[in-house]
């Protein structure tokens, strides 16, 4: 393509609203424009990059035998009511009514629609397995869209769904997807980590996320050199053992005036935080619960959710706490709370601990010598948030925690949708059994944005070759006829070889062409200019920022070689 005929509105300055690098560069390089909060238009360069991503995805999905569909984005409410997600999705779902008042929504994901096809058409175990996918627009009314393309309200997703007879089949479909995803992200040039994840509102058991490490991301990933990696929401770690005073003592009231926080009590009583009990009060499905953590630990609410088997909970208000405990936060504890209608649950780190310190449920007082299992009882769960440098539960080495962006997610759904929507087949014995399902998603624009986050410099974007909008840019500086002819020859030859090539034939000064070239990030640039008089052209590799002078006759060969580097 000729630059003079392409719409590439580059910007010299960074638009004020762009904070993260990928947003700034994609705007400046003329890939995207914003239409509203979390709503973006994709201009020709972005289309080219996204189409390359799509193509890679299609090839890899076909490779595992998946079949492409194209389903509606507009869904009748009844479908979502069947699975309960019409309510469950809450305000995150865009809802609308048609002219007759019928309720509809814009699809956030397509389990319901794909399952509705499956239940109507799949009759026999002989029809299984099926791997179905599509590349579709999704709508989510995010409470807070942000960071350019990283969190938006309309985006493109490759979503696929597997339908199997049994758990073994699901395992197979799931692993096929894992492999396909690895190949997709490898081919897109991304560095990523596969982490154990929560399945959240998708339902289901096993789930892994494909994460790209970047500070622009919103997730926290815990990882270890041994290969262990998990989303912070479900990460586990070991604890350095603590030896308590073994003596058998009874709780002892101690005056702790104005000492409320763990820190204050620790200093006041000269006792380490790890020997205190942190008491948190939550309201879980409208019933009060006392949650006990070690003094120096943080509660992980995802783990609480799993332990309580509900996501309906919130911290109690100060008034509620006073009514229940007769004291304010800062002086709370489990002793004497048995049988008062307050559920007591505790983190595993408190199990078998002796002679600890907790609030006395009386303002300005704490209790010494509180022993788990004797002075209070509790249901124990893993509720602790992993901290950086905790020992890895697999190998004991210190864990690393970093921010990351989720670009893909695979789930074993199990029977959640097939049961609620009655998608069944007859098994070999002629018995009707529900289909077991998996679902798998990749965010296309996120791949594009993640690549920019990962690969850029002060001058602009440095695209991985596989998803660059063009692979080669011919920067024509000279105005002489023979230079133009050379440019044209190279351009035609590359096109004939199927190499995407952009010819900068604009009537612009060299400086402008060079700056724009680096901004849009094309991997290989050929400059035809003043060196041409000595029969030379220049080849510039964007990633290494390396300039090579080569004979004009060899230009084509050298370009191909540069692409291979």
Partner RNA sequence: CGGGGCGUGGCGCAGUUUGGUAGCGCGCACGGUUCGGGACCGUGAGGUCGGAGGUUCAAAUCCUCUCGCCCCGACCA
Binding residues vs RNA (CB under 7 A):
10-17, 19-20, 28, 34, 36-38, 92, 108-109, 138, 140, 142-147, 151, 155, 157, 200-202, 218, 301, 311, 409, 441, 443, 459, 477, 509-512, 514-519, 527-532, 538, 540, 547
Nearer to RNA, 138 or 303 (CB): 138
Nearer to RNA, 49 or 136 (CB): 136
Per-residue HEC secondary structure of 122-168 comes to CCEHHHCCEEEEEEEEEECCCCCCECHHHECCEEEEEEEEEEECCHH
Nearer to RNA, 311 or 400 (CB): 311
Nearer to RNA, 48 or 138 (CB): 138
Nearer to RNA, 191 or 218 (CB): 218
Structure tokens at 106: 């814009």
Least distance to RNA, CB of residue 254, Å:
33
Least distance to RNA, CB of residue 374, Å:
34
Least distance to RNA, CB of residue 236, Å:
20
Nearer to RNA, 140 or 297 (CB): 140
Least distance to RNA, CB of residue 363, Å:
27
Nearer to RNA, 128 or 383 (CB): 383
DSSP class of residue 200 equals G
Residue 230, CA distances (Å) to 201, 211, 308 in order: 18, 10, 21
Per the CB < 8 A criterion, the answer to whether 466 and 188 are in contact is yes
Per the CB < 8 A criterion, the answer to whether 37 and 452 are in contact is no
DSSP 41-54: EE-HHHHHHHHHHH
End-to-end CA distance of the chain: 24
Least distance to RNA, CB of residue 459, Å:
6
Coil/strand/helix, residue 210: strand
Rounded-to-integer distance, Cα 158 and Cα 135, Å: 4
Least distance to RNA, CB of residue 477, Å:
5
Rounded-to-integer distance, Cα 463 and Cα 26, Å: 12
Rounded-to-integer distance, Cα 373 and Cα 370, Å: 9
Least distance to RNA, CB of residue 561, Å:
19
Residue 541, CA distances (Å) to 135, 388, 500, 519 in order: 33, 38, 16, 13
Nearer to RNA, 222 or 367 (CB): 222
Rounded-to-integer distance, Cα 470 and Cα 467, Å: 8
Nearer to RNA, 157 or 357 (CB): 157
Nearer to RNA, 37 or 225 (CB): 37
Structure tokens at 339: 């049988």
Least distance to RNA, CB of residue 243, Å:
34
Q: Which of 479, 476, 496, 472 is nearest to 560 (CA)?
A: 472
Rounded-to-integer distance, Cα 145 and Cα 165, Å: 39
Q: Any idea how long the chain is? A: 565
Nearer to RNA, 322 or 515 (CB): 515
Least distance to RNA, CB of residue 340, Å:
26
Least distance to RNA, CB of residue 117, Å:
19
Per the CB < 8 A criterion, the answer to whether 105 and 80 are in contact is yes
Q: Where are the beta strands (DSSP E) in 287-427?
A: 287-294, 313-315, 343-347, 356-359, 365-370, 379-381, 400-414, 424-426
Least distance to RNA, CB of residue 329, Å:
17
Contacts of 537 (CB under 8 A, 6+ apart): 486, 526, 527, 528, 531, 549, 550, 551, 552, 555
């Amino acid at each position: 393509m000729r630059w003079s005929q392409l719409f590439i509105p580059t910007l010299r300055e960074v638009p004020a609203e762009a904070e993260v690098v990928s947003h700034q560069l994609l705007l400046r390089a003329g890939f995207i424009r914003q239409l509203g909060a979390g709503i973006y238009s994709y201009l020709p360069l972005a289309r080219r990059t996204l189409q390359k991503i799509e193509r890679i995805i299609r090839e890899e999905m076909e490779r595992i035998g998946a079949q492409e569909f194209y389903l509606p984005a507009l869904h009748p409410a009844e479908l979502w009511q069947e699975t309960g997600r019409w309510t469950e999705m809450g305000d995150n779902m865009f809802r609308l009514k048609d002219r007759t008042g019928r309720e509809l929504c814009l699809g956030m994901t397509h389990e319901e629609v794909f399952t509705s096809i499956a239940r109507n058409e799949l009759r026999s175990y002989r029809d299984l397995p099926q791997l179905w996918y599509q590349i579709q627009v999704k709508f989510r009314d995010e409470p807070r869209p942000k960071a350019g393309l990283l969190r938006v309200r309309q985006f493109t997703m490759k979503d696929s769904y597997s339908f199997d007879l049994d758990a073994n089949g699901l395992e197979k479909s799931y692993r096929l997807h894992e492999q396909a995803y690895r190949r997709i992200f490898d081919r897109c040039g991304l560095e990523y980590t596969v982490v154990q994840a929560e399945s959240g509102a998708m339902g289901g058991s096993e789930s892994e996320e494909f994460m790209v490490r970047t500070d622009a991301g919103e997730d926290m990933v815990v990882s270890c050199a041994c290969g262990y990696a998990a989303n912070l929401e479900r990460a586990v770690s070991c604890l350095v053992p603590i030896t308590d005073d073994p003596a058998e003592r009874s709780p002892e009231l101690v005056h702790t005036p104005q000492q409320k926080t763990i820190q204050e009590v620790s200093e006041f009583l000269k006792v380490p935080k790890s020997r205190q009990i942190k008491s948190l009060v939550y309201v879980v499905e409208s019933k009060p619960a006392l949650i006990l953590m070690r003094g120096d630990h943080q509660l992980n609410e995802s783990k609480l959710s799993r332990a309580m088997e509900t996501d309906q909970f919130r911290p109690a208000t100060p008034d509620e706490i006073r009514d229940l405990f007769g004291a304010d936060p800062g002086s709370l504890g489990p002793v004497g709370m048995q049988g008062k209608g307050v559920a007591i649950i505790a983190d595993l780190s408190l199990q078998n601990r002796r002679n600890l310190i907790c609030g006395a449920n009386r303002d300005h007082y704490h209790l010494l010598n509180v022993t788990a299992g004797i002075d209070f009882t509790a249901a124990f769960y893993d509720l602790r948030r992993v901290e950086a440098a905790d020992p890895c539960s697999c190998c004991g080495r210190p864990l690393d925690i970093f921010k990351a962006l989720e670009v893909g997610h695979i789930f074993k759904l199990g029977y959640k949708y097939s049961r609620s929507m009655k998608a069944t087949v007859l098994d070999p014995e002629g018995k009707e059994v529900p289909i077991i399902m998996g679902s798998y998603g990749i965010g296309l624009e996120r791949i594009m944005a993640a690549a920019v986050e990962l690969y850029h410099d002060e001058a602009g974007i440095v695209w991985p070759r596989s998803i660059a909008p063009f692979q080669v840019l011919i920067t024509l500086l000279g105005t002489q006829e023979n230079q133009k002819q050379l440019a044209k020859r190279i351009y035609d030859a590359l096109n004939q070889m199927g190499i995407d090539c952009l010819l900068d034939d604009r009537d612009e000064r060299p400086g402008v062409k060079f700056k724009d070239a680096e901004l849009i990030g094309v991997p290989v640039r050929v400059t035809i200019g003043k060196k041409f008089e000595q029969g030379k052209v220049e080849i510039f590799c964007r990633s290494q920022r390396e300039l090579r002078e080569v004979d004009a006759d060899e230009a084509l060969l050298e370009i191909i070689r540069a692409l291979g580097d």
